Amino acid sequence: MIEKAVAGPDEDSTTMGLEASLNAIRRSGVNPADIGAVFFGTESKPYSVKPSATVIAEAIGATPLTMASDLEFACRAASEGIRASIGLVASYMVKYALVIGSDTAQANPGDVLEFTASSGAAAFVIGPSKGSVAVFEGSSTYVTDTPDFWRREGSRYPRHGEGFTGEPAYFSHIVGAVRDLMEKLGLKPSDFNYAIFHQPNGKFPLKVGEILGFKSDQLKLGLVTPLIGNTYNGSALIGLARVLDYAKPGERILVAPFGSGAGSDAYSLTVTDAVEEKRGKAPLVDHYINDKIVISYSIYARYRGLIHVVKE
Amino acid sequence: MAYITGVGLVNVDRHYGKSVRKLAFEASTAALDSSMVESIDFIVVASSLSYLQEPQLDLASYIASSMGFRGVRSIAVESGEASGLAAVMTAKSLVDSGLASRVLVVGVDKLSDNPSWRVYRDLSMLYDSESDAFYTIGLGGVAGLLMRLYMEVYKVDRHTLAYWPALMHSNAKANPYAMLRFAITPEKVLEAPPVAEPLTLLDTFPLGDGAAAIVVEGKARGDAMAEIVAVESSTGYQSVALSDDPLRIESLEVAYGRLVERVDAMDVDVVELHDSFTITGILELEALRLAERGKAAEAVAHGNFSIGGEGPVVNPSGGLKARGHPIGATGVYQVAEVALQLAGEFPGLKVEGARGGLAVSVNAMGSSSYVAYLKAVG
Amino acid sequence: MHRYRLIAYKCKSCGRAHYPPANACPYCGSRDLGEIELPRVGRILSYSIVYTTPFEDKDRSPVVIGLVDLGVARLIAEIVDVKPEDVRIDDRVEAVFRRISVDGDTGLIVYGIKFRPVRTR
């Protein structure tokens, strides 16, 4: 871990999600009024009850005739939105769907997770293959009731099972989803140019890649956590956005988000020609990584509300 | 016709022990004593923050009844920082129309009863809640950006713009009703803590409490202090962002133009204008054509508008900067001060032989502007 | 929702645009108005660095307020993501969606548009 990204005092998961959404919409060239579903995946909602998805839908100009919903499944909430969107688009129920993964992750001060919990967002416009920058060949989801990491209602910070979050949770579910996908599609690791896994830190993805038979070179481009921290719902998805910033037409991408509780998805995507024309229409992930102001822990503590201030 | 037959002022200060009603009472009794009358037909009250702070609605009737004027007619006027002049305009219309023969106008506001952050939040309501005040910024932002724009467009440096507050403080030293009575140099202005850069604390009106009252009568009296010849006003844009030239206070140009149309011959020997911030004073001098566009700061630095300098004497009271700015009361202070000058009775710096004078109020950076012209009687 | 999307009104009589939308054209008084979406990039005409920030915004103090020119209309807005001492007249800025205010611990969050300097990519 080198650095982690911190949301400013006037930002939250909704504001970051909106910025990512506008970038995605600009690249897609779609008319926001043609977006028929907005899924907002997060575990740091500004409101416990009141969807952020409607704020986003309003701000992009998709309201009022649209589906909109906030999803919860720790770090894979947005990914469930992607699977649902594939179904909505393929069944012609909606023309386009917008999926956002956004978090201003928090951890108990002093807890090991404090090193990595960070802020970030990614957004994707899902639509028909024609004009898309990448096409889904298939997808898979693997879930079980596994209490590796949780936060009770009213509790400020999550708790986790330390080592338990590893093998029984992260590894077994990602392996489960990816193996199911590769079996369904008849693919092996060497068929992929890139593999992007949920990245709570810099080590877990490399280890699960090794278990599955991927080479570390395939993971390099999509591994952003060492530079920005674990953005939770943004984690694998920002990695995917970065890969799409550089991938060439014809290349194949595996992306496998994971969420505690627990579950993982796996997708296989092939990149199209359209990616070269669309990628320059919005800032690259690397632009955001490099555009930063470094702050001290004390400023960070004020921004993230770690210091209790009595409101006058 | 409308005549001022008495005035009463409370010194602008932090009157921690005195309530809004008490301050209004003190100014009113002083005005009534000075006018040598006891009964009035109408009380017109000017205040802005009292509604939020006391909090109190139907303010005028509660102030009137607390002063013992049983059954008197009352009305409250709120026009932001220009409430005082708006109240004077109301009083003049009441006597001109014959609806009243004697009206007491009292302006009152307190800015020291609450923590400053809360006062700044309340004061931001003087600006447009849909645009300028939509952002929770605090006091002085719009004035600050206009000051920077003025410096950029007219190539005037910060030091030249510091002569105005220095002049205000110099004038206020002699005024027993002023809040700040110490001299400052232009250098001190630049060194003072920033409020809304490039504005510093010494470019900004102080937070104080005050009350001022005048008695306005319809009949000419031998001992009247001054005549309120005309009061005119205009509304302006909701925000300076809508103006093609944000460095013009258009509403004041229009109000003044209307005033000039109404009055045959104007002697402007003294002016009390609304320098809530240094830049407001500068832009008003230009709107009133007392200086050319972009040249007012230079003119002040040159010594114009001071006693003995070129042009009418501006803000001999010390202005909003040094006499003070108890928001709703300010316009009444200004009219009282001009009346005192015209009667030869101002207790501070006297403008000898003054025959006519202006009182000028602007809300925010020009959402509304008022100008009153007074002339000496006899 | 003009606060979320920079929707201005354009007067069908005199052709001028104004933001935020008012009930009638502030220039000619006409009520014949249509919606337009403003460009999201503009430049700073002037700005001020404000130190008298309200209590709940002390973490952001001092705050920069700017007069932003978007070509077809101008507006007053907060300038963010920059050190106050680095702001200059003529800086190119782009619209961003941010929290404007929060009503205590249980009230609503107001969102709106602020501007940040455009950094070369």
Please indicate whether, in this complex, the C-beta atoms of B120 and C54 are within 8 angstroms of each other. yes
Tokens of B303: 């010594």
Clarify whether A167 is annotated catalytic: no
Give the start-to-end residue ranges of the domains of chain C: 2-37, 41-117
Tokens of A157: 């910070």
- Which of A11, A43, A58, A287 is catalytic? The answer is A43
Instruction: For chains B and C, count residue pairs whose Cβ atoms are closer than 8 Å.
Output: 120
Give the start-to-end residue ranges of the domains of chain B: 3-114+207-217
Task: Give the pLDDT of residue B347.
Answer: 98
C99/chain B closest Cα distance in angstroms? 10
Please indicate whether, in this complex, the C-beta atoms of A59 and C4 are within 8 angstroms of each other. yes
Helix boundaries (H) for A67-160: 77-90
Same domain, A20 and A80: yes
CA neighbor of B132 nearest in space, from B240, B235, B244: B240
Clarify whether A276 is annotated catalytic: no
CA neighbor of C77 nearest in space, from C101, C109, C58, C100: C100
Measure the CA–CA gap between C20 and C25, rounded to whole angstroms: 11
In a domain, A138, yes or no: yes
Same domain, A117 and A196: no
Question: Could you list the pLDDT tens digit for every one of the 312 residues in chain A?
Answer: 899 999 999 999 999 999 999 999 999 999 999 999 999 999 999 999 999 999 999 999 999 999 999 999 999 999 999 999 999 999 999 999 999 999 998 888 888 889 899 999 999 999 999 999 999 999 999 999 999 999 998 888 888 888 888 888 999 999 999 999 999 999 999 999 999 999 999 999 999 999 999 999 999 999 999 999 999 999 999 999 999 999 999 999 999 999 999 999 999 999 999 999 999 999 999 999 999 989 999 989 988 888 887 777
Task: Name which of B138, B143, B238 is nearest C54 (Cβ-Cβ).
Answer: B138
Please indicate whether, in this complex, the C-beta atoms of C51 and B194 are within 8 angstroms of each other. yes
Which chains does chain B touch, 3 or more C-beta pairs < 8 A? Answer: C
Same domain, A123 and A139: no
In a domain, A39, yes or no: yes
In a domain, A284, yes or no: no
Please indicate whether, in this complex, the C-beta atoms of C56 and A311 are within 8 angstroms of each other. yes
Same domain, A217 and A115: no
DSSP secondary structure letter of residue C101: E
Same domain, A265 and A160: yes
Domain count, chain A: 2
Question: Could you list the pLDDT tens digit for every one of the 378 residues in chain B?
Answer: 999 999 999 999 999 999 999 999 999 999 999 999 889 999 999 999 999 999 999 999 999 999 999 899 999 999 999 999 999 999 999 999 999 999 999 999 999 999 988 899 999 999 999 999 999 888 899 999 999 999 999 999 999 999 999 999 999 999 999 999 999 999 999 999 999 999 999 999 999 999 999 999 999 888 999 999 999 999 999 999 999 999 999 999 999 999 999 998 999 999 999 999 999 999 999 999 999 999 999 999 999 999 999 999 999 999 999 999 999 999 999 999 999 999 999 999 999 999 999 999 999 999 999 999 999 997
Chain A residues inside the 8 Å CB shell of C56: 311
Kindly report, residue by residue over B3-41, the tens digit of the pLDDT.
999 999 999 999 999 999 999 999 999 999 999 988 999
Nearest-Cα residue of chain C relative to residue B150: C46
Task: Name which of C47, C52, C57 is nearest B145 (Cβ-Cβ).
Answer: C47
Clarify whether A43 is annotated catalytic: yes
Nearest-Cα residue of chain A relative to residue C37: A61
Same domain, A188 and A124: no
Same domain, A112 and A191: no
Residue A75 is part of a domain; what is its CATH number? 3.40.47.10
Kindly report, residue by residue over C32-50, the tens digit of the pLDDT.
999 999 999 999 999 999 9
Buried b (16+ CB within 10 A) or exposed e, A236-245: bbbbbbbbbb
The answer for residues whose C-beta is within 8 angstroms of residue A297's C-beta and 6 or more apart is none
The predicted complex's ipTM stands at 0.95
The residue range of the domain holding A185 is 134-275
- Could you tell me if C57 lies within 8 Å of chain B, comparing CB atoms? yes
User: How much is the mean pLDDT over chain A?
Assistant: 95
Domain B3-114+207-217 fold is Peroxisomal Thiolase; Chain A, domain 1 (3.40.47)
Task: Name which of B135, B237, B238 is nearest C65 (Cβ-Cβ).
Answer: B135
Q: In chain B, which residues touch C (CB < 8 A)?
A: 115-118, 120-121, 130-132, 134-149, 152, 193-199, 237-242, 246
In a domain, A289, yes or no: no
C82/chain A closest Cα distance in angstroms? 8
In a domain, A281, yes or no: no
Buried b (16+ CB within 10 A) or exposed e, A177-187: bbebbbeeeeb
